[in-house]
């Protein structure tokens, strides 16, 4: 058996997420800092007896840290969550892996002995962004000066088209993959498999009631992911037109959904674990990130997964559960085929095509999914991995305890 | 005369016509309640909501802009009838059933206000009988108001009085429809199908009859009965498909039932093949299959002999084509009549029978001949009405020919021509004193309703003597390209600048003329109105540019572009107000002139855009410069005054994709015109209003704007942002390499050149950048190829 013990380990004692909403869906009027505060409160509630003043830092991943989620959303979120003002907070950004990066950075603080209690989180409201590139687009003209940098200017969909043609991923395979994602997600919701990892969010909206001239308060509880389509069907998917290339294969149906979401993960050192008698969900095993050409950014995991396996000494076939972010069906299939990932272990509850992809929050959200999922299925090692815009891949490994 | 004030209107019936009438009322700034039956399930407004959704998708759009939809409120008869009390005009447009209409009238009558006008959009039922469904007091405010489909675009509205309709109410309604909704109103009599449909549908029946007689194909007949004889492109059978074959059959049956004594009655029958199509559910456009259908990219036509569809092929015989090209109508008709070619004989036959029908029916269906001719022009899109066509072809000789064909049994009916046709050596029905009223036996002058005084140059039928613009007024200056003139009886101080070129294209002589005219106007006039009939201008004279390119005269071309820019600036900085009176297309350079005028009066149907990209160019007459200035001005009013990028984005797309506004309102949305400009619904009123606007500006102490200085530009970062869009489109095979080059040039011109973002420049700088980018493109073989193809074929080249 592989020995992956480290000098000092970081343990996940709580991991919780909000349901993921479609862009401009149920969280249209919910602020990302409020979502973040709610996720932080949820994990703190799961560790009664833990003095919040002991939290060394709150690290929050966010891919578009501006406007509603600007101003260092980590600090605002933790204060709104009611943590003492002695607890610091930092917002970090590595696009789609930001939430996973936050978990890795938090674990590292513990592993280095610099902290005993850490919160890692992710929050993203794509509803709050007027466009995918943020409030003010300002590309560097130098991008066009060197042909090798032109990929920086490529939209993500175009990079997916490049991956599809380079790895020969057919439209039919992409659509079938997308359909399976919806079917798995719907089945998981029906079976209640997301219940343990999800903390419902009470939506409270102040709406103008023009007829009565009063402000109406509308309240509802959000407890289920909004993205999965029970009525997804092959003919419906086949009808959609390619968006990014006139003769392409990438459609709105086989791409990830734009979403709003947040999650938080509470990590502690072994001494704290013992001191408070906390039951760990999982142990953080390792994390790696690697760069690839920007124009085929979707293959990022092809570089990151072997790297983290080598670092941790874990064999690919030891992984029982792989959360591979479905940025696009095209890149997901390319990664799976290139690395020979076992399809049965990849996204057993569906992926971002059905469940949504709130950019910087996704890594933290899927950490909650994989740690709770391993526990439910008694698996041992699980992975969260994703491709990253401008050409990177990230992968993190967790061990159920 | 009291003015009709419509603060709120209701339309009853959310079918194709009702919903579109509601849309046009909303276009005109009237809030509308659109009623229909309550939905059986779910939201009771479900039926209307569905119709409103349909309005959004309909092409050509019934809405002047998508936001107009907000001003149509959905309503249903169960819940909202009390709201009718607040409506000044109620238009009923439900299904054509007398019993249903009477039942509805009984239901709504108690809710109508005492001053409200109720009008039915029926196209076939008797207005007098409809009125019987109303209580006595409401009948005085009831009449027929017959719109044509699509109501935004078809100029005609027939008003039909009942025996009890209040005459003053009708005048008020006519005035309102003419000026506010921009319609051409014809007073029709309460006879079946009124005027336009009575003659227009008869014409279709005659075409169908002779199609069979002469053994022609439907596609062949459409080739013959379209633009070649001054009728719409959809000609006869494609029009039938668009209207709906079931609807057409319904109209024919109505004629059959309601016109038993019409001498042509035996021809009012639905042909067996048409019945068969309807039976198969092939109803035309709405079922994607009718007389024509589209299989993949191929248009197919029903062939009665083959009992199947075959590829459609338009074919007019060369000899017939020659006849149709004859300039003199008398010769043309003589040639058609004398020819043995079945196509020629067919054409003569359909004209003859319509002439014959109009002559016999004139006294029964219309007050006078002008009403018939204008009704067919405005309701069916004929370039010329039937009676004026006859008159143009030589009244007497055609009358003799018709009489001969009646005698020989060739005509569809043996009814003799009425005596007035040949009495008193008649030369026609339209004359200086008016148009012939067969019923009254005299010539009827034009309406003297004051609203028509707003139409300085109304649409006239052939034979009327009203002046044409070209021959009116006093000329102050004239060259090959333009004429500057005044109408002293209206305002001797406001010059009218009219372009003389074909389609009002802007060539060197127009530019010279504009510069000279503005200079003269500054010295001798109080203001200038740029006005001529539609189109406003289709852009620069491509032929001149193409020829100079071919000859390698690029220095001369650069001077021409500089002159174009000077002409635009002359409008903008003239010491007297320059008011552009716009109708129809204002493209490319035409759009740039519109943008640079001091003020604009726009007909609703104004199609404005910077379309230079289609020929591989960018706006070079100050259009890019003007948008760079405007973006800076818009940004100055925002929270981030130096950030122009957000304001350039939509402009860049409009230029790169050569977007053209589909209405005056859209032109304002795109920024080609300004919210402070005047939008008119009736294009015939443009000159009247523009002259007064120019006078008002002059009286208010008009001063041109100061030259903009310290203009922040988006610079290199802005260009990079646009280039990012372009890279994705090119890599995605959505645009060609040359499209990329053209759009990037537009980006450079809009962003003020390759300078740092936020750099401050002036107007001359922006003009120079625009000129340089324009000239760079002009020197490319790809752009030259695009210009050449546009000149040769009128269609853009994608290279």
What is the spatial order of strands in the sheet that B298-303 belongs to? B292-295, B298-303, B308-311
Task: Please tell me which of the candidates A136, A153, A245 has its beta carbon nearest to residue B724.
Answer: A153
Q: What would the mean pLDDT of B721-732 be, rounded to a whole number?
A: 96
Top pLDDT among A319 and B313 is at A319
Render the burial of A267-306: b for 16+ CB within 10 Å, e for the rest: bbbeebbeebebebbbbbbbbbbbebebbbbbbbbbbbbe
Instruction: Give how far B610 is from chain A: nearest CA, Å.
Output: 25
Q: Round to whole Å and give the CA distance between B375 and B197.
A: 9
Superfamily of domain B9-188 in CATH is NAD(P)-binding Rossmann-like Domain (3.40.50.720)
The 10s digit of each residue's pLDDT in B219-272 is: 999 999 999 999 999 999 999 998 889 989 988 998 999 999 999 999 999 999
Question: Dmax over Cα atoms in chain B, in whole Å?
Answer: 85
Q: Which residue, chain included where needed, has tokens 């456009």?
A: B285
Q: What are phi and psi of B472, to 5 degrees?
A: -110, 165
What residues contact A176, with CB distance under 8 A and at least 6 apart? A234
**Catalytic (active-site) positions of A:** 96, 357, 387
Q: Round to whole Å and give the CA distance between B571 and B623.
A: 13
pTM score of the predicted model: 0.93
Q: Which CATH architecture has domain B471-781?
A: Alpha-Beta Complex (3.90)
Residue A1: its pLDDT value, please?
47
Contact residues, chain A to chain B, C-beta under 8 Å: 136-141, 143-144, 150, 153-155, 158, 161, 244-248
pLDDT band at residue B542 under the 50/70/90 scheme = very high
Counting beta carbons within 10 angstroms of the beta carbon of residue B18, is it exposed (0 to 12), middle (13 to 18) or buried (19 or more)?
buried
Is A144–B732 a contact, with Cβ atoms under 8 angstroms apart?
Answer: no
Residue A4: its pLDDT value, please?
64
Q: Best mutation site among B732, B741, B744 for testing chain A: the one with the most A CBs within 10 Å?
A: B732
The 10s digit of each residue's pLDDT in B16-75 is: 899 999 999 999 999 999 999 999 999 999 999 999 999 999 989 999 999 999 999 999
Please count the other Cβ atoms lying within 10 Å of the Cβ belonging to residue B556: 12
Set of chain B residues whose Cβ sits within 8 Å of the Cβ of A143 = 720, 724
Write out B15-69 in H/E/C secondary structure.
CHHHHHHHHHHHHCCCCEEEEECCCCCCCCCHHHHHHHHHHHHCCCCCCCCHHHH
Cα torsion through B585, B588, B593, B596, rounded to 10: 120
Is B732–A154 a contact, with Cβ atoms under 8 angstroms apart?
Answer: no
Q: Round to whole Å and give the CA distance between A197 and A19.
A: 9
The helix/strand/coil state of A291 is: strand
Q: Best mutation site among A139, A146, A211 for testing chain B: the one with the most B CBs within 10 Å?
A: A139
Residue A132: its pLDDT value, please?
78
ipTM of the complex: 0.93
Tell me: pLDDT of B752 over 60: yes
Residue B124: its pLDDT value, please?
83
Instruction: Give how far A146 is from chain B: nearest CA, Å.
Output: 13
The helix/strand/coil state of B582 is: strand
- Whether B600 and B590 have beta carbons less than 8 Å apart is answered as no
B604: left (phi over 0), alpha (psi -120 to 50) or beta: alpha
Size of interface A-B (CB pairs under 8 A): 51
The 10s digit of each residue's pLDDT in B81-107 is: 999 999 999 999 999 999 999 999 999
- Whether B31 and B71 have beta carbons less than 8 Å apart is answered as yes
Residue B5: its pLDDT value, please?
96
Q: Round to whole Å and give the CA distance between B161 and B165.
A: 6
Q: What is the CA radius of gyration of chain B?
A: 28
Q: Best mutation site among A131, A144, A297 for testing chain B: the one with the most B CBs within 10 Å?
A: A144
- What are the respective helix, strand and coil percentages of chain A, to the nearest 5? 40, 25, 35
Indicate the DSSP class of residue B466.
Answer: P
Is A245–B732 a contact, with Cβ atoms under 8 angstroms apart?
Answer: yes
Q: Round to whole Å and give the CA distance between B427 and B424.
A: 9
Residue B307: its pLDDT value, please?
87
The 10s digit of each residue's pLDDT in B488-540 is: 999 999 999 999 999 999 999 999 999 999 999 999 999 999 999 999 999 99
Tell me: pLDDT of B788 over 60: yes
Is A137–B733 a contact, with Cβ atoms under 8 angstroms apart?
Answer: no
Separation of CA B506 from chain center? 22
Set of chain A residues whose Cβ sits within 8 Å of the Cβ of B727 = 144, 150, 153-154
Q: Does B727 touch chain A (CB under 8 A)?
A: yes
Residue B140: its pLDDT value, please?
97
Counting beta carbons within 10 angstroms of the beta carbon of residue A168, is it exposed (0 to 12), middle (13 to 18) or buried (19 or more)?
exposed
Q: Round to whole Å and give the CA distance between B421 and B671.
A: 55
Helices (H), B662-714: 664-670, 686-699
Question: Which chain B residue lies closest to A133 (C-alpha atoms)?
Answer: B721
Q: Round to whole Å and give the CA distance between B528 and B513.
A: 13
Q: Across chain B, what does the average pLDDT equal?
A: 96
Domain spans of chain B, in order of start: 9-188, 196-443, 471-781
| CATH number attached to the domain at B196-443 | 1.10.1040.50
Indicate the angle between helix axes B645-656 and B737-750, nearest 10 degrees: 140
Question: Which chain A residue lies closest to B756 (C-alpha atoms)?
Answer: A141
- For the record, the structure tokens of B790 come out as 């546009």
Query: Shortest CA distance to B746 belongs to which of B651, B647, B633?
Result: B651
pLDDT band at residue B1 under the 50/70/90 scheme = low
Helices (H), A54-170: 73-80, 98-111, 156-166
Instruction: Give how far B28 is from chain A: nearest CA, Å.
Output: 25
- From first to last of its 401 residues, chain A has per-residue pLDDT tens of 456 666 799 999 999 999 999 999 999 999 999 999 999 999 999 999 999 999 999 999 999 999 999 999 999 999 999 999 999 999 999 999 999 999 999 999 999 999 999 999 999 999 998 877 888 889 999 999 988 999 999 999 999 999 999 999 999 999 999 999 999 999 999 999 999 999 999 999 999 999 999 999 999 999 999 999 999 999 999 999 999 999 999 999 999 999 999 999 999 999 999 999 999 999 999 999 999 999 999 999 999 999 999 999 999 999 999 999 999 999 999 999 999 999 999 999 999 999 999 999 999 999 999 999 999 999 999 999 999 999 999 999 999 99
Question: Which chain A residue lies closest to B754 (C-alpha atoms)?
Answer: A141
Q: Round to whole Å and give the CA distance between A365 and A347.
A: 13
Residue B18: its pLDDT value, please?
97
Task: Please tell me which of the candidates B721, B732, B733 has its beta carbon nearest to residue A138.
Answer: B721
Set of chain A residues whose Cβ sits within 8 Å of the Cβ of B717 = 138-141
Task: Please tell me which of the candidates A137, A141, A154 has its beta carbon nearest to residue B716.
Answer: A141
Q: Round to whole Å and give the CA distance between B478 and B776.
A: 34
Residue A209: its pLDDT value, please?
96
Please count the other Cβ atoms lying within 10 Å of the Cβ belonging to residue B385: 27
Is B720–A154 a contact, with Cβ atoms under 8 angstroms apart?
Answer: no
- Whether B182 and B322 have beta carbons less than 8 Å apart is answered as no
Instruction: Give how far B756 is from chain A: nearest CA, Å.
Output: 10
Is A140–B720 a contact, with Cβ atoms under 8 angstroms apart?
Answer: yes
């Amino acid at each position: 058996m592989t020995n992956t013990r480290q000098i000092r380990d970081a343990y996940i004692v709580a991991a919780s997420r909000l349901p993921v909403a479609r862009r401009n869906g149920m969280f249209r009027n919910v602020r990302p800092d409020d979502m973040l505060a709610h996720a932080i409160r949820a994990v703190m509630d799961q560790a009664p007896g833990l003095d919040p003043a002991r939290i060394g830092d709150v690290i929050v991943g966010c891919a578009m840290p501006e406007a509603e989620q600007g101003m260092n959303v980590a600090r605002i979120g933790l204060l709104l969550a009611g943590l003492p003002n002695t607890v610091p907070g930092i917002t970090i950004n590595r696009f789609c892996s930001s939430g996973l990066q936050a978990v890795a950075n938090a674990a590292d603080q513990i592993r280095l002995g610099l902290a005993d209690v850490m919160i890692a989180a992710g929050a993203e409201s794509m509803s709050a962004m007027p466009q995918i590139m943020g409030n003010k687009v300002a590309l560097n003209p130098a991008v066009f000066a060197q042909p090798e940098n032109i990929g920086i200017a490529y939209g993500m969909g175009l990079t997916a088209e490049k991956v599809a043609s380079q790895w020969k991923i057919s439209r039919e395979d992409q659509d079938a993959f997308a359909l399976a994602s919806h079917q798995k997600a719907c089945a998981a919701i029906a079976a209640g498999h997301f219940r343990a990892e999800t903390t419902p969010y009470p939506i409270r909206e102040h709406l103008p009631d023009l007829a009565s001239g009063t402000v109406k308060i509308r309240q509802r509880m959000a407890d289920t992911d909004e993205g999965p389509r029970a009525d997804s069907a092959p003919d419906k998917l086949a009808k959609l037109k390619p968006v990014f290339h006139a003769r392409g294969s990438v459609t709105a149906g086989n791409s990830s959904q734009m979403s709003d979401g947040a999650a938080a993960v509470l990590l502690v050192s072994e001494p704290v674990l013992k001191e408070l008698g906390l039951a760990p969900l999982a142990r953080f095993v390792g994390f790696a990130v690697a760069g690839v050409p920007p124009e085929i950014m979707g293959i990022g995991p092809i570089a990151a997964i072997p790297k983290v396996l080598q670092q941790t000494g874990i064999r690919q076939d030891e992984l029982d559960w792989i959360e591979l972010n479905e940025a696009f069906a095209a890149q997901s299939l390319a990664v799976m085929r290139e690395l020979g990932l076992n399809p049965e272990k990849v996204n057993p509850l569906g992926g971002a095509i059905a469940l949504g992809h709130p950019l910087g929050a996704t890594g933290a959200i899927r950490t909650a999914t994989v740690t709770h999922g391993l526990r439910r299925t008694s698996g041992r090692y699980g992975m969260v991995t994703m491709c990253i815009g401008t050409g990177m891949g990230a992968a993190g490994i967790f061990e159920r305890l | 005369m009291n003015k009709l004030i419509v603060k709120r209107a209701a339309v009853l019936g959310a079918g194709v016509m009702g919903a579109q009438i509601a849309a046009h009322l909303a276009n005109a700034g009237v809030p509308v309640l659109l009623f229909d039956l309550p939905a059986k399930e779910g939201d009771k407004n479900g039926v209307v909501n569905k119709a409103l959704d349909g309005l959004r998708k309909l092409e050509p759009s019934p809405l002047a802009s998508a936001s107009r939809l907000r001003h149509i409120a959905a309503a249903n008869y169960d819940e909202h009838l009390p709201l009718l009390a607040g409506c000044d005009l109620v238009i009923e447009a439900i299904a054509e059933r007398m019993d249903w209409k009477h039942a509805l009238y009984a239901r709504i009558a108690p809710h109508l206000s005492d001053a409200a006008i109720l009008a039915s959009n029926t196209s076939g039922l008797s207005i007098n009988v409809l009125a019987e469904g109303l209580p006595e007091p409401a009948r005085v405010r009831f009449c027929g108001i017959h719109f044509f489909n699509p109501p935004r675009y078809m100029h005609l509205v027939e008003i039909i009085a009942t025996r009890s309709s209040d005459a003053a109410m009708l005048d008020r309604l006519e005035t309102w429809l003419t000026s506010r909704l921009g319609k051409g109103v014809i007073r029709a009599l309460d006879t079946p199908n009124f005027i336009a449909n009575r003659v227009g549908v008869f014409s279709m029946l005659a075409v169908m009859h002779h199609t069979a007689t002469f053994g022609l194909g439907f596609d062949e007949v459409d080739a013959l009965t379209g633009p070649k004889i001054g009728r719409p492109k959809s000609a006869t059978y494609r029009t039938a498909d668009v209207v709906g074959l079931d609807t057409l059959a319904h109209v024919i049956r109505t004629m059959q039932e309601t016109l038993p004594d019409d001498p042509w009655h035996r021809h009012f029958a639905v042909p067996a093949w048409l019945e068969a199509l309807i039976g198969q559910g092939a109803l035309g456009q709405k079922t994607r299959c009718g007389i024509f259908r589209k299989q993949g990219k191929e248009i197919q036509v029903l062939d009665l002999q083959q009992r199947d569809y075959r590829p459609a092929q338009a074919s007019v015989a060369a000899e017939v084509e020659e006849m149709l090209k004859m300039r003199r109508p008398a010769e043309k008709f003589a040639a058609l009549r004398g020819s043995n070619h079945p196509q020629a004989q067919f054409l003569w036959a359909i004209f003859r029978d319509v002439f014959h029908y109009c002559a016999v029916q004139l006294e029964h269906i219309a007050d006078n001949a002008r009403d018939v001719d204008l009704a067919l022009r405005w309701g069916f899109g004929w370039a010329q009405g039937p009676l004026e066509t006859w008159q143009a072809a030589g009244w007497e000789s055609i009358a003799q020919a018709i009489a001969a064909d009646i005698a020989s049994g060739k005509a569809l009916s043996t009814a003799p021509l009425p005596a007035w046709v040949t009495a008193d050596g008649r030369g026609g029905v339209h004359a200086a004193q008016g148009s012939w009223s067969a019923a009254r036996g005299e010539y009827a002058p034009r309406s003297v309703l004051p609203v028509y005084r707003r139409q300085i140059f109304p649409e006239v039928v052939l034979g009327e003597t009203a002046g044409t613009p070209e021959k009116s007024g006093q000329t102050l200056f004239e060259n090959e390209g333009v004429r500057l003139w005044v109408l002293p009886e209206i305002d001797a101080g406001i010059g009218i600048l009219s372009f003389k070129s074909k389609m009002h294209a802007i060539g060197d002589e127009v530019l010279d003329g504009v510069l000279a005219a503005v200079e003269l106007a500054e010295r001798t006039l109080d203001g200038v109105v740029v006005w001529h009939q539609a189109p406003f201008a289709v852009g620069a004279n491509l032929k001149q540019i193409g020829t100079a390119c071919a000859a390698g005269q690029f220095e001369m071309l650069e001077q021409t572009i500089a002159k174009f820019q000077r002409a635009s600036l002359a409008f903008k900085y003239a010491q007297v107000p320059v008011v552009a009176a716009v109708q129809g297309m204002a493209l490319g350079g035409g759009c740039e002139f519109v943008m640079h005028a001091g003020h604009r009066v726009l007909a609703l149907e104004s199609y404005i855009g910077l379309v230079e990209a289609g020929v591989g160019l960018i706006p070079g007459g100050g259009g890019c410069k003007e948008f760079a200035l405007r973006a800076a001005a818009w940004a100055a009013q925002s929270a981030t005054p130096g950030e122009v990028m957000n304001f350039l984005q939509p402009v860049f797309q409009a230029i790169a994709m050569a977007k053209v506004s589909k209405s005056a309102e859209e032109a304002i949305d795109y920024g080609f015109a300004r919210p402070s400009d005047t939008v008119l619904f009736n294009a015939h009123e443009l000159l009247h209003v523009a002259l007064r606007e120019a006078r008002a500006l002059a009286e208010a102490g008009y001063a041109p704007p100061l030259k903009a200085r310290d203009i922040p530009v988006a610079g290199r970062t802005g260009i990079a942002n646009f280039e990012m869009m372009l890279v994705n489109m090119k890599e995605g095979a959505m645009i060609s390499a040359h499209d990329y080059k053209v759009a990037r040039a537009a980006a450079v011109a809009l962003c003020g050149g390759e300078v740092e973002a936020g750099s401050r420049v002036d107007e001359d700088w922006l003009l120079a950048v625009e000129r340089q980018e324009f000239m760079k493109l002009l020197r490319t073989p790809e752009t030259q190829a695009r210009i050449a193809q546009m000149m040769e074929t009128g269609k853009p080249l994608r290279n």
